[in-house]
Amino acid sequence: MRVLVYSDDASTREKVRLAIGRRPAADVPLVEIVECATQPAVVKHLDSGEIDVAVLDGEAVPAGGMGISRQAKDEVYDCPPICLIIGRRDDRWLADWSRADAVVAQPIDPMALAEAVAGLMRARSASRSITSH
């Protein structure tokens, strides 16, 4: 499965990549990470239909992951599930506004992030098997 990781911060992308690893849980497929540092790159990849799950940094600049998430949910056909990384737990209401499917707060807990991504991968696999029948 292809997992898009978006942040303008290379160290944040690395933390996410390391937390997800090659397979975030034993019952999900291997992961291919697609890294993006800009909003146009994220939009291009999401529009391609080749992304299965997206992990977006809500604190990225100039385009934050929350706005990108909301835009994607409005505009991308069959939008993949989105995990949003938020700066503070108090920002959860903004994550709800963005229509993110999962939320992980900074500092990134590798176990929580891997669990969230694995859950989104399971959901994506289930929705794809339903639509293919």
Per-residue pLDDT of the chain (133 residues; tens, 9 = 90+): 999 999 999 999 999 999 999 999 999 999 999 999 999 999 999 999 999 999 999 999 999 999 999 999 999 999 999 999 998 878 878 888 999 999 999 999 999 999 999 999 999 998 877 655 4
Q: What is the pLDDT of residue 131?
A: 55
| Partners of residue 56 on adjacent β-strands | 6, 84
Handedness of CA 56, 58, 59, 60 (dihedral sign): positive
Domains: count for the chain: 1
68: containing domain: 2-131
Cβ(34)–Cβ(80) under 8 Å?
Answer: no
Q: What is the pLDDT of residue 73?
A: 96
CATH number for the domain that contains residue 57: 3.40.50.2300
Q: What is the pLDDT of residue 127?
A: 83
